[in-house]
Amino acid sequence: MKEKNPWYTPLTIIITVIGVIAIVALVTVAVLQNRPLLQKYKYGIVLDAGSSHTALYIYQWPAEKDNNTGRVEQKHSCKVTGKGISSYAAQPEKAGMSLTECMQEAEMVVPAKRHSETPLYLGATAGMRLLNIENRSASDQVFQAVEKALQSFPFSYQGARILSGQEEGAFGWVTVNYLDDRLKQGLETTGALDLGGASTQISFVSHDYDISESPSNSMTFRLYGNDYNLYTHSFLCYGKDQVLRMALAKQTQLGPSTILDPCFHPGYTTTRNYSSLYDSPCVSGRRPREAPTNFSHKGEGNFTKCQEVVKSLFNTTACKYSKCSFNGVFQPPLQGPFGAFSAYYYVMNFLNLTDTSIHLETVKNNLASYCATPWNQIKQMHLSNVKEKYLAEYCFSGTYILTLLTEGYNFTKETYSNIKFIKKIKGSDAGWTLGYMLNLTNMIPAEAPDSPPLPHAGYVSIVTVIAVLLFILLILSLRPVWPRCSKQPQIV
């Protein structure tokens, strides 16, 4: 009689088939789970209504992870053509209309099915702060026009408002540190230096800072389980356009018909209007009484003299605190690295002076020789790719930046190298807008989110391995039974 192969008993066949199916199923699940998903995103839009221009930023983050764990990144930006919304004080409707093109672009970039859930914010900064001081009703009308225009788009409009200087400074700091992943990991933070057209902000964490000295310069945050005591100050009128007005006002105070300006290149000459120069709360009150309508503005190209003019715009004598920056404003000792963006970057990048490992004296010498270069030569070299207005002002702006950093904020030749001139961090622009949106959408939690002990892929792999081991164990435990069976006499 032929002996039956004991491996083929119905029981072992069933067990093997079930085991194989289970393993195939587990591996399939593991593979499918880890296959790259077609990522779905959520979006947020922030309009930065600055003094010199408006920019629109679209941010995106993974839709499944918006409960505080997904990374928010800049998807798109759009520069509104024309000047900032505060320049439309005399014709407010045009402020609203100016935003149309970028808003239409946003409609194309954000997928249509996400439009209605996409929050849209507009934040205005120093230009509107100044207009609000100068002419409250004009500022209200500009906001009404802007609001009407924004509400006509299919997004979830969340309002337009003027940010306080503290908010502008603090949100810039949040942006820089969020993009650098410093907040989540509780690392030492980077200070933020923002130079706009009408105001400038400095924000940093100082561990030696006694909060009671100047509460208006202090902001406390709890982010991802860490406490931050942030020093922040915004100097209204110390953005680069307003400070240039102040410098010109200083030099024209006696009402001459010609001024020889050390901050402009030799050979530079233009005619400026007294009324438009003094048309700002930053300089009003300084207008000479007997001034003619126009004055002739000529360049001299002398960095040292220019620095003296700029220095005279900082009051460094009065200070009622333990330490001040300038104009009697409290500032604790500088601490840690700094990221300097917006006009800090535009200007220093044009001047090829973004490398802060170069000695400060060398930086100054390079700027001095740039300032001394005749205007004709400068135009010949750059006019084809740089706006004439910017080109004429780089000597002044560079001098202002170095003077603000050293005489204003007290950076020294040793600490200058702590500054990094930056435009973007990991593809997103440095500026207050991202921090503003993260705050308003509650996307940075106060406490560190709990995370599962194992990542998903790790969990699936471990379950698969355990299942395979169990199956092998089961097979092995059945094995001793089969030889015994085979030895039993066969009943025929």
Residue of the chain from 56, 102, 120, 126 that contacts ligand ITT (CB under 6 A):
126
Q: Residues 46 to 75: which contact Ca ion by CB under 5 A?
A: 50
Residue 177 binds ligand ITT, judged by CB under 6 A:
no
Residue 311 beta carbon to Ca ion: minimum distance, rounded to whole angstroms: 24
| Cβ pair 91, 83 in contact under 8 A | no
Q: In what side-by-side order are the strands of the sheet with 269-273? A: 258-261, 294-299, 269-273
Nearer to ligand ITT, 118 or 125 (CB): 125
SS3 14: helix
> Helix 375-382 vs helix 388-403: angle between axes, to the nearest 10 degrees?
110
Residue 172 binds Ca ion, judged by CB under 5 A:
no
Residue of the chain from 198, 243, 329, 392 that contacts ligand ITT (CB under 6 A):
198
Q: Name the token pair of 54.
A: 């408006």
300 binds, among ligand ITT, Ca ion, none (CB under 5 to 8 A by kind): none
| Cβ pair 172, 190 in contact under 8 A | no
Q: Mask 362-401, x = binds ligand ITT (CB under 6 A)?
A: ----------------------------x-----------
Nearer to Ca ion, 236 or 478 (CB): 236
Tally the C-alpha atoms within 13 A of residue 145's C-alpha that lie toward its C-beta.
21
SS3 117: helix
Residue of the chain from 74, 87, 98, 125 that contacts ligand ITT (CB under 6 A):
125
Residue 341 beta carbon to Ca ion: minimum distance, rounded to whole angstroms: 9
| Cβ pair 269, 298 in contact under 8 A | yes
241 binds, among Ca ion, ligand ITT, none (CB under 5 to 8 A by kind): ligand ITT
| Cβ pair 74, 57 in contact under 8 A | yes
Enumerate the β-bridge partners of residue 44: 59
Residue 201 beta carbon to Ca ion: minimum distance, rounded to whole angstroms: 9
CA–CA separation, 469 and 171 (whole Å): 53
Q: What is the DSSP letter of 291?
A: -
399 binds, among Ca ion, ligand ITT, none (CB under 5 to 8 A by kind): none
Q: Name the token pair of 341.
A: 């963006």
Residue of the chain from 26, 42, 47, 52 that contacts ligand ITT (CB under 6 A):
52
- The widest CA-to-CA distance across the chain, in whole angstroms, is 132
CA–CA separation, 236 and 219 (whole Å): 19
> Interacting stretch for ligand ITT, rule CB under 6 A, among 18-26, 208-216, 338-346, 481-489?
338-346
CA–CA separation, 435 and 420 (whole Å): 19
Which of the residues are catalytic? 168
Nearer to ligand ITT, 387 or 479 (CB): 387
Residue of the chain from 42, 240, 245, 265 that contacts ligand ITT (CB under 6 A):
240
Residue 343 binds ligand ITT, judged by CB under 6 A:
yes
CA–CA separation, 304 and 263 (whole Å): 9
Residue of the chain from 44, 92, 127, 266 that contacts ligand ITT (CB under 6 A):
127
Q: Residues 186 to 245: which contact Ca ion by CB under 5 A?
A: 196
Annotated binding-site ranges for ATP? 197-201
Annotated binding-site ranges? 197-201
Enumerate the β-bridge partners of residue 9: none
Q: Which residues bind ligand ITT (CB under 6 A)?
A: 50-53, 84, 125-127, 196-199, 239-241, 342-343, 346-347, 350, 390
